[in-house]
Amino acid sequence: MTIWPDYSENETPGTRFLLYPQSPYLEPGLKPELVEISAPQGTIGPGPSGPRMYAMYPIDKTTPYGAMIEGEDGPQMYLPAWDGYILPPPEPDEFGNFIHIDPDDPAFEAAHLFGSAHFTMDVWEGYFGRSIPWHFERDFERLELSLLPGLDNAHIGWGFLETGGTREHGDEYRPYSLNFDVVAHEIGHAIIYSVIGLPSEDDATGEYYGFHESAADMVALLASLHFGSVVDEVLKNTRGNLYTYNRLSRFAELSQNAQIRIAANDRTLSEFSHGWSSEHALSEPLTGAMFDILVDIYHERLVAHGVINPEMEDLSDELEGTEEYNAIMQDLFDEHYAANPEGFRVALIEARDLLGSYLADAWEKLDADLLSYFGVERALVVVDQEITGGAFRQIIESNFRMREIGLTRPGPRLTKPDGSSHAASVRTLSPEVKEP
Protein backbone atom coordinates (compact mmCIF):
# COMPACT_ATOMS: atom_id res chain seq x y z
CA MET A 1 0.00 0.00 0.00
CA THR A 2 1.29 3.44 -0.91
CA ILE A 3 1.18 5.98 1.91
CA TRP A 4 1.07 9.56 0.71
CA PRO A 5 2.71 12.32 2.76
CA ASP A 6 0.54 14.68 4.76
CA TYR A 7 0.52 18.30 3.60
CA SER A 8 -0.63 21.49 5.21
CA GLU A 9 -3.13 23.64 3.35
CA ASN A 10 -0.35 25.93 2.09
CA GLU A 11 2.12 23.18 1.11
CA THR A 12 2.30 22.00 -2.48
CA PRO A 13 3.20 18.34 -3.09
CA GLY A 14 6.41 17.69 -4.99
CA THR A 15 6.50 15.86 -8.30
CA ARG A 16 6.51 12.09 -7.82
CA PHE A 17 8.75 9.58 -9.55
CA LEU A 18 9.47 5.87 -9.27
CA LEU A 19 13.18 5.24 -8.70
CA TYR A 20 15.25 2.14 -8.13
CA PRO A 21 17.47 2.65 -5.06
CA GLN A 22 20.05 0.46 -6.82
CA SER A 23 20.33 -1.11 -10.23
CA PRO A 24 17.36 -3.47 -10.68
CA TYR A 25 19.75 -5.99 -12.23
CA LEU A 26 21.60 -6.50 -8.96
CA GLU A 27 18.51 -7.80 -7.17
CA PRO A 28 15.94 -9.68 -9.29
CA GLY A 29 12.40 -8.58 -8.55
CA LEU A 30 13.44 -5.24 -7.07
CA LYS A 31 10.59 -2.75 -7.25
CA PRO A 32 11.06 0.98 -7.78
CA GLU A 33 10.34 3.23 -4.83
CA LEU A 34 8.07 6.27 -4.77
CA VAL A 35 9.96 9.52 -4.17
CA GLU A 36 9.14 13.20 -4.42
CA ILE A 37 11.45 15.79 -5.90
CA SER A 38 11.29 19.40 -4.78
CA ALA A 39 9.67 20.69 -7.98
CA PRO A 40 5.93 21.18 -7.26
CA GLN A 41 3.44 19.11 -9.18
CA GLY A 42 2.65 20.70 -12.51
CA THR A 43 6.07 22.35 -12.97
CA ILE A 44 7.80 19.42 -14.71
CA GLY A 45 6.88 19.00 -18.35
CA PRO A 46 7.29 16.23 -20.92
CA GLY A 47 10.76 14.83 -21.22
CA PRO A 48 10.81 15.16 -18.21
CA SER A 49 11.93 18.77 -18.31
CA GLY A 50 12.19 21.46 -15.66
CA PRO A 51 13.96 24.74 -14.90
CA ARG A 52 17.27 23.05 -13.92
CA MET A 53 17.47 20.05 -16.24
CA TYR A 54 15.74 18.14 -19.02
CA ALA A 55 15.95 14.54 -20.26
CA MET A 56 15.77 13.05 -23.74
CA TYR A 57 16.38 9.84 -25.65
CA PRO A 58 18.06 10.86 -28.95
CA ILE A 59 17.52 8.79 -32.07
CA ASP A 60 20.58 7.96 -34.24
CA LYS A 61 23.00 9.86 -32.01
CA THR A 62 26.34 8.04 -32.20
CA THR A 63 28.91 10.57 -30.96
CA PRO A 64 29.10 11.15 -27.21
CA TYR A 65 29.18 14.66 -25.85
CA GLY A 66 32.64 15.98 -25.07
CA ALA A 67 34.23 14.46 -28.16
CA MET A 68 36.25 16.72 -30.45
CA ILE A 69 34.64 17.10 -33.86
CA GLU A 70 35.43 19.13 -36.92
CA GLY A 71 33.61 22.43 -37.15
CA GLU A 72 33.65 25.43 -39.45
CA ASP A 73 36.57 26.92 -37.52
CA GLY A 74 38.44 23.67 -36.90
CA PRO A 75 38.12 21.07 -34.11
CA GLN A 76 35.60 21.91 -31.41
CA MET A 77 33.98 20.19 -28.49
CA TYR A 78 30.67 18.46 -29.23
CA LEU A 79 28.17 19.88 -26.75
CA PRO A 80 24.40 20.14 -26.23
CA ALA A 81 21.80 20.82 -27.25
CA TRP A 82 20.80 17.80 -29.33
CA ASP A 83 18.71 19.03 -32.24
CA GLY A 84 17.84 15.71 -33.89
CA TYR A 85 14.96 13.30 -33.49
CA ILE A 86 14.12 11.87 -30.07
CA LEU A 87 11.92 9.08 -28.78
CA PRO A 88 8.50 10.28 -27.68
CA PRO A 89 9.15 11.88 -24.27
CA PRO A 90 7.27 10.63 -21.20
CA GLU A 91 4.33 12.83 -20.31
CA PRO A 92 3.24 13.69 -16.78
CA ASP A 93 -0.09 12.34 -15.59
CA GLU A 94 -3.07 14.55 -14.82
CA PHE A 95 -1.51 15.58 -11.48
CA GLY A 96 1.91 16.34 -12.95
CA ASN A 97 3.60 13.14 -11.70
CA PHE A 98 5.61 10.46 -13.53
CA ILE A 99 4.61 7.39 -11.53
CA HIS A 100 2.35 5.93 -14.20
CA ILE A 101 5.17 4.90 -16.56
CA ASP A 102 5.84 1.17 -16.62
CA PRO A 103 9.49 0.21 -15.99
CA ASP A 104 9.36 -1.86 -19.19
CA ASP A 105 8.42 1.23 -21.21
CA PRO A 106 11.48 2.75 -22.99
CA ALA A 107 10.28 6.14 -21.71
CA PHE A 108 10.94 4.97 -18.13
CA GLU A 109 14.70 5.36 -18.64
CA ALA A 110 14.42 9.10 -19.29
CA ALA A 111 12.07 9.55 -16.32
CA HIS A 112 14.36 7.55 -14.03
CA LEU A 113 17.45 9.48 -15.13
CA PHE A 114 15.72 12.81 -14.53
CA GLY A 115 14.25 11.76 -11.19
CA SER A 116 17.58 10.39 -9.93
CA ALA A 117 19.54 13.51 -10.90
CA HIS A 118 16.95 15.91 -9.48
CA PHE A 119 16.50 13.89 -6.27
CA THR A 120 20.27 13.90 -5.64
CA MET A 121 20.47 17.67 -6.15
CA ASP A 122 17.53 18.15 -3.79
CA VAL A 123 19.26 16.15 -1.05
CA TRP A 124 22.52 18.05 -1.31
CA GLU A 125 21.02 21.49 -1.77
CA GLY A 126 19.29 20.72 1.51
CA TYR A 127 22.64 20.02 3.14
CA PHE A 128 24.21 23.15 1.63
CA GLY A 129 21.18 25.24 2.56
CA ARG A 130 21.24 26.94 -0.81
CA SER A 131 20.83 26.40 -4.53
CA ILE A 132 23.93 24.96 -6.20
CA PRO A 133 24.52 26.59 -9.60
CA TRP A 134 25.83 24.52 -12.47
CA HIS A 135 29.55 24.93 -13.08
CA PHE A 136 28.77 25.43 -16.78
CA GLU A 137 26.13 28.13 -16.25
CA ARG A 138 28.00 30.67 -18.37
CA ASP A 139 26.98 28.62 -21.44
CA PHE A 140 23.94 26.57 -20.40
CA GLU A 141 21.06 27.31 -18.05
CA ARG A 142 19.99 23.67 -17.84
CA LEU A 143 21.66 20.28 -17.67
CA GLU A 144 20.84 17.99 -20.59
CA LEU A 145 20.28 14.41 -19.43
CA SER A 146 20.90 12.26 -22.47
CA LEU A 147 20.59 8.53 -23.11
CA LEU A 148 23.19 7.02 -25.44
CA PRO A 149 23.00 3.19 -25.48
CA GLY A 150 26.23 2.87 -27.46
CA LEU A 151 28.23 4.49 -24.66
CA ASP A 152 29.72 2.01 -22.18
CA ASN A 153 30.00 4.69 -19.51
CA ALA A 154 28.21 7.49 -17.73
CA HIS A 155 29.79 10.91 -17.59
CA ILE A 156 28.94 14.47 -16.74
CA GLY A 157 30.49 17.39 -18.56
CA TRP A 158 29.93 20.87 -19.87
CA GLY A 159 26.14 21.07 -19.95
CA PHE A 160 25.37 17.36 -20.07
CA LEU A 161 25.04 14.14 -18.15
CA GLU A 162 25.10 11.26 -20.60
CA THR A 163 24.46 7.64 -19.71
CA GLY A 164 24.99 4.50 -21.73
CA GLY A 165 24.97 0.93 -20.60
CA THR A 166 26.83 -2.36 -20.57
CA ARG A 167 26.50 -5.78 -22.16
CA GLU A 168 29.17 -7.37 -19.99
CA HIS A 169 26.54 -9.70 -18.51
CA GLY A 170 25.80 -11.86 -21.54
CA ASP A 171 23.76 -10.19 -24.25
CA GLU A 172 21.52 -8.37 -21.77
CA TYR A 173 21.73 -4.59 -22.07
CA ARG A 174 21.83 -2.92 -18.65
CA PRO A 175 21.39 0.85 -18.84
CA TYR A 176 23.27 2.98 -16.35
CA SER A 177 20.31 5.35 -16.26
CA LEU A 178 18.56 2.83 -13.99
CA ASN A 179 21.48 2.71 -11.53
CA PHE A 180 20.88 5.44 -8.96
CA ASP A 181 24.45 5.20 -7.60
CA VAL A 182 25.91 5.91 -11.04
CA VAL A 183 23.70 8.95 -11.67
CA ALA A 184 24.16 10.32 -8.14
CA HIS A 185 27.94 9.87 -8.41
CA GLU A 186 28.04 11.96 -11.59
CA ILE A 187 25.87 14.66 -10.00
CA GLY A 188 28.39 14.58 -7.15
CA HIS A 189 31.14 15.57 -9.56
CA ALA A 190 29.02 18.49 -10.77
CA ILE A 191 28.47 19.65 -7.19
CA ILE A 192 32.20 19.59 -6.46
CA TYR A 193 33.04 21.45 -9.67
CA SER A 194 30.50 24.11 -8.71
CA VAL A 195 31.52 24.45 -5.05
CA ILE A 196 35.30 24.01 -5.32
CA GLY A 197 36.02 24.48 -9.01
CA LEU A 198 38.89 23.30 -11.19
CA PRO A 199 42.53 23.94 -10.31
CA SER A 200 44.05 26.87 -12.15
CA GLU A 201 46.95 24.68 -13.28
CA ASP A 202 46.65 21.74 -15.67
CA ASP A 203 48.74 19.46 -13.43
CA ALA A 204 46.35 19.13 -10.51
CA THR A 205 47.51 17.04 -7.56
CA GLY A 206 46.45 13.45 -7.15
CA GLU A 207 44.66 14.41 -3.96
CA TYR A 208 42.39 16.75 -5.94
CA TYR A 209 41.25 13.93 -8.22
CA GLY A 210 41.15 11.39 -5.39
CA PHE A 211 39.05 13.82 -3.36
CA HIS A 212 36.71 14.26 -6.34
CA GLU A 213 36.06 10.51 -6.50
CA SER A 214 35.61 10.23 -2.74
CA ALA A 215 33.26 13.22 -2.58
CA ALA A 216 31.17 11.90 -5.48
CA ASP A 217 30.94 8.54 -3.72
CA MET A 218 29.78 10.22 -0.51
CA VAL A 219 27.19 12.22 -2.47
CA ALA A 220 25.82 8.94 -3.84
CA LEU A 221 26.06 7.04 -0.55
CA LEU A 222 24.26 9.64 1.58
CA ALA A 223 21.67 10.29 -1.15
CA SER A 224 20.90 6.56 -1.26
CA LEU A 225 20.18 6.71 2.49
CA HIS A 226 17.23 8.98 1.68
CA PHE A 227 15.38 5.95 0.33
CA GLY A 228 13.34 4.47 3.15
CA SER A 229 13.82 0.99 1.73
CA VAL A 230 17.62 1.34 1.82
CA VAL A 231 17.65 2.36 5.48
CA ASP A 232 15.23 -0.41 6.40
CA GLU A 233 17.04 -3.11 4.44
CA VAL A 234 20.51 -2.11 5.67
CA LEU A 235 19.39 -2.28 9.29
CA LYS A 236 17.36 -5.45 8.83
CA ASN A 237 20.23 -7.28 7.11
CA THR A 238 22.94 -6.11 9.50
CA ARG A 239 20.88 -5.83 12.68
CA GLY A 240 22.45 -2.41 13.02
CA ASN A 241 26.08 -3.50 12.59
CA LEU A 242 27.13 -1.30 9.66
CA TYR A 243 30.59 -2.86 9.41
CA THR A 244 29.10 -5.98 7.87
CA TYR A 245 29.17 -6.26 4.08
CA ASN A 246 25.90 -4.70 3.00
CA ARG A 247 24.23 -2.37 0.55
CA LEU A 248 25.51 0.72 2.33
CA SER A 249 29.18 -0.24 2.42
CA ARG A 250 29.16 -1.67 -1.10
CA PHE A 251 28.26 0.63 -3.93
CA ALA A 252 29.27 0.59 -7.55
CA GLU A 253 30.22 3.07 -10.17
CA LEU A 254 29.87 0.70 -13.11
CA SER A 255 32.18 2.27 -15.64
CA GLN A 256 34.26 0.85 -18.48
CA ASN A 257 36.08 -1.52 -16.14
CA ALA A 258 33.05 -2.30 -13.93
CA GLN A 259 35.07 -1.29 -10.87
CA ILE A 260 33.53 -1.95 -7.47
CA ARG A 261 34.71 0.25 -4.63
CA ILE A 262 34.09 -0.49 -0.97
CA ALA A 263 33.27 2.34 1.42
CA ALA A 264 34.13 0.18 4.43
CA ASN A 265 37.71 -0.40 3.30
CA ASP A 266 41.01 -0.55 5.19
CA ARG A 267 43.22 1.38 2.75
CA THR A 268 45.78 3.84 4.10
CA LEU A 269 47.39 6.80 2.38
CA SER A 270 50.88 5.41 2.93
CA GLU A 271 50.07 2.73 0.34
CA PHE A 272 50.30 5.54 -2.22
CA SER A 273 53.32 7.37 -0.82
CA HIS A 274 55.53 6.14 -3.66
CA GLY A 275 52.97 7.01 -6.31
CA TRP A 276 49.58 6.13 -7.71
CA SER A 277 47.95 5.15 -11.00
CA SER A 278 44.19 5.35 -10.37
CA GLU A 279 42.39 8.18 -8.63
CA HIS A 280 39.60 5.67 -7.88
CA ALA A 281 42.02 3.64 -5.74
CA LEU A 282 43.61 6.79 -4.31
CA SER A 283 40.18 7.94 -3.13
CA GLU A 284 39.63 4.90 -0.93
CA PRO A 285 41.55 6.02 2.19
CA LEU A 286 39.51 9.25 2.27
CA THR A 287 36.22 7.45 1.58
CA GLY A 288 37.07 4.88 4.23
CA ALA A 289 37.71 7.62 6.79
CA MET A 290 34.37 9.22 5.93
CA PHE A 291 32.52 5.92 6.28
CA ASP A 292 34.15 5.30 9.66
CA ILE A 293 33.13 8.79 10.79
CA LEU A 294 29.55 8.04 9.72
CA VAL A 295 29.54 4.81 11.72
CA ASP A 296 31.11 6.43 14.79
CA ILE A 297 28.56 9.26 14.77
CA TYR A 298 25.81 6.66 14.33
CA HIS A 299 27.12 4.82 17.40
CA GLU A 300 27.19 8.10 19.35
CA ARG A 301 23.55 8.71 18.45
CA LEU A 302 22.64 5.16 19.51
CA VAL A 303 24.18 5.87 22.92
CA ALA A 304 22.49 9.27 23.13
CA HIS A 305 19.08 7.65 22.59
CA GLY A 306 19.81 4.85 25.06
CA VAL A 307 19.63 2.20 22.33
CA ILE A 308 23.07 0.82 23.23
CA ASN A 309 25.17 1.52 26.31
CA PRO A 310 28.54 3.31 26.39
CA GLU A 311 30.31 0.04 27.18
CA MET A 312 29.12 -1.49 23.91
CA GLU A 313 30.28 1.57 21.99
CA ASP A 314 33.71 1.43 23.66
CA LEU A 315 34.00 -2.27 22.82
CA SER A 316 33.15 -1.55 19.19
CA ASP A 317 35.88 1.10 19.05
CA GLU A 318 38.37 -1.24 20.71
CA LEU A 319 37.69 -4.11 18.29
CA GLU A 320 37.34 -2.04 15.12
CA GLY A 321 39.56 -3.40 12.36
CA THR A 322 40.25 -6.70 14.14
CA GLU A 323 39.25 -10.21 13.07
CA GLU A 324 37.26 -10.58 16.28
CA TYR A 325 34.95 -7.64 15.59
CA ASN A 326 32.02 -9.42 13.96
CA ALA A 327 32.35 -12.57 16.07
CA ILE A 328 31.90 -10.55 19.26
CA MET A 329 29.87 -7.53 18.19
CA GLN A 330 27.22 -9.15 16.00
CA ASP A 331 25.54 -10.96 18.91
CA LEU A 332 25.34 -7.67 20.80
CA PHE A 333 23.87 -5.85 17.80
CA ASP A 334 21.36 -8.67 17.25
CA GLU A 335 20.17 -8.36 20.84
CA HIS A 336 19.87 -4.58 20.91
CA TYR A 337 18.35 -4.26 17.45
CA ALA A 338 15.61 -6.75 18.31
CA ALA A 339 14.75 -4.65 21.37
CA ASN A 340 14.53 -1.29 19.55
CA PRO A 341 14.72 -1.32 15.73
CA GLU A 342 13.16 2.16 15.51
CA GLY A 343 15.95 3.57 17.67
CA PHE A 344 18.52 2.25 15.20
CA ARG A 345 16.65 3.81 12.28
CA VAL A 346 16.47 7.22 13.95
CA ALA A 347 20.17 7.11 14.86
CA LEU A 348 21.21 6.23 11.31
CA ILE A 349 19.12 9.03 9.81
CA GLU A 350 20.57 11.51 12.31
CA ALA A 351 24.12 10.40 11.51
CA ARG A 352 23.38 10.63 7.78
CA ASP A 353 22.15 14.21 8.03
CA LEU A 354 24.84 15.35 10.43
CA LEU A 355 27.62 14.06 8.18
CA GLY A 356 25.92 15.45 5.07
CA SER A 357 25.71 18.93 6.57
CA TYR A 358 29.31 18.69 7.86
CA LEU A 359 30.59 17.72 4.41
CA ALA A 360 28.68 20.52 2.69
CA ASP A 361 30.05 23.11 5.11
CA ALA A 362 33.58 21.69 4.89
CA TRP A 363 33.61 21.56 1.08
CA GLU A 364 32.67 25.26 1.04
CA LYS A 365 35.98 25.97 2.79
CA LEU A 366 38.23 24.10 0.33
CA ASP A 367 40.34 25.56 -2.46
CA ALA A 368 40.94 23.57 -5.65
CA ASP A 369 44.56 24.75 -5.93
CA LEU A 370 45.45 23.89 -2.32
CA LEU A 371 43.35 20.77 -1.83
CA SER A 372 44.71 17.95 0.31
CA TYR A 373 43.15 15.15 2.34
CA PHE A 374 44.59 16.70 5.50
CA GLY A 375 42.93 19.98 4.48
CA VAL A 376 39.60 18.13 4.30
CA GLU A 377 40.16 16.91 7.86
CA ARG A 378 40.96 20.39 9.14
CA ALA A 379 37.88 21.82 7.42
CA LEU A 380 35.70 19.19 9.12
CA VAL A 381 37.26 20.01 12.49
CA VAL A 382 36.51 23.71 11.98
CA VAL A 383 32.91 22.92 11.01
CA ASP A 384 32.52 20.68 14.06
CA GLN A 385 33.81 23.45 16.30
CA GLU A 386 31.38 25.94 14.74
CA ILE A 387 28.36 23.63 15.08
CA THR A 388 28.91 21.64 18.28
CA GLY A 389 31.90 23.22 19.96
CA GLY A 390 34.04 20.22 19.02
CA ALA A 391 31.83 17.29 20.01
CA PHE A 392 33.11 15.05 17.20
CA ARG A 393 36.68 16.33 16.90
CA GLN A 394 38.21 13.16 18.34
CA ILE A 395 36.14 11.00 15.99
CA ILE A 396 37.22 13.03 12.95
CA GLU A 397 40.91 13.19 13.82
CA SER A 398 41.27 9.58 14.96
CA ASN A 399 39.69 8.22 11.77
CA PHE A 400 41.93 10.35 9.57
CA ARG A 401 44.99 9.21 11.55
CA MET A 402 43.93 5.57 11.12
CA ARG A 403 44.18 6.18 7.37
CA GLU A 404 47.56 7.88 7.88
CA ILE A 405 46.13 11.08 6.44
CA GLY A 406 48.15 13.98 7.81
CA LEU A 407 51.14 11.68 8.28
CA THR A 408 52.05 11.24 4.63
CA ARG A 409 51.18 12.48 1.15
CA PRO A 410 50.65 10.49 -2.05
CA GLY A 411 53.52 10.38 -4.50
CA PRO A 412 53.36 11.26 -8.21
CA ARG A 413 51.14 9.69 -10.83
CA LEU A 414 53.00 6.63 -12.08
CA THR A 415 51.14 5.99 -15.31
CA LYS A 416 49.40 8.11 -17.89
CA PRO A 417 45.65 8.57 -17.36
CA ASP A 418 43.57 5.86 -19.05
CA GLY A 419 39.94 5.78 -20.13
CA SER A 420 38.69 5.39 -16.56
CA SER A 421 40.47 8.52 -15.33
CA HIS A 422 38.55 11.72 -14.75
CA ALA A 423 41.77 13.67 -15.17
CA ALA A 424 41.69 12.88 -18.88
CA SER A 425 37.94 12.75 -19.43
CA VAL A 426 35.21 15.07 -20.68
CA ARG A 427 34.27 15.75 -17.05
CA THR A 428 37.20 18.13 -16.69
CA LEU A 429 37.05 19.69 -20.16
CA SER A 430 35.37 22.97 -20.93
CA PRO A 431 35.24 25.03 -24.12
CA GLU A 432 37.43 28.08 -24.30
CA VAL A 433 35.95 31.16 -22.71
CA LYS A 434 33.93 33.00 -25.29
CA GLU A 435 35.00 36.46 -26.20
CA PRO A 436 32.55 39.19 -25.21
pLDDT score at 420:
58
362 and 227 fall within a common domain: yes
164 and 286 fall within a common domain: no
Q: Say if residue 428's pLDDT is above 80.
A: no
152 and 214 fall within a common domain: no
250 and 383 fall within a common domain: yes
pLDDT mean across residues, the chain: 88
249 and 312 fall within a common domain: yes
> What average pLDDT does this structure show over 47-74?
90
Q: Say if residue 261's pLDDT is above 60.
A: no
Is residue 63 domain-resident?
yes
User: Which of 71-85, 121-135, 164-178, 255-269 is predicted with the least confidence, judged by mean pLDDT?
Assistant: 255-269
Express each pLDDT in 28-54 by its tens digit. Answer: 788 999 999 999 999 999 999 999 999
Q: In this prediction, what percent of the chain has a pLDDT beyond 90?
A: 70
Residue 14 sits at φ, ψ, to 5 deg, of -80, 170
pLDDT score at 253:
39
d(CA 273, CA 269): 7
238 and 109 fall within a common domain: no
162 and 221 fall within a common domain: no
Domain count, the chain: 2
Q: Say if residue 275's pLDDT is above 80.
A: yes
Express each pLDDT in 174-226 by its tens digit. Answer: 899 999 999 999 999 999 999 998 888 666 788 999 999 999 999 999 999 99
Is residue 14 domain-resident?
no
pLDDT score at 353:
98
pLDDT score at 27:
74
pLDDT score at 297:
97
364 and 270 fall within a common domain: yes
Q: Say if residue 162's pLDDT is above 50.
A: yes
81 and 165 fall within a common domain: yes
CATH code: domain of residue 261: 1.10.390
pLDDT band, residue 422 (cuts 50/70/90): low
What Å distances lie between residue 65 and 72, 116, 151, 174, 195, CA to CA? 18, 20, 10, 20, 23
214 and 66 fall within a common domain: no
Structural domain including 84 reads 20-128+139-174
167 and 280 fall within a common domain: no
What is the pTM for the complete model shown?
Answer: 0.91
pLDDT score at 434:
40
Is residue 409 domain-resident?
no
Is residue 195 domain-resident?
no
Express each pLDDT in 314-350 by its tens digit. Answer: 998 888 878 888 889 999 999 999 999 999 999 999 9
108 and 214 fall within a common domain: no
> What average pLDDT does this structure show over 156-167?
93
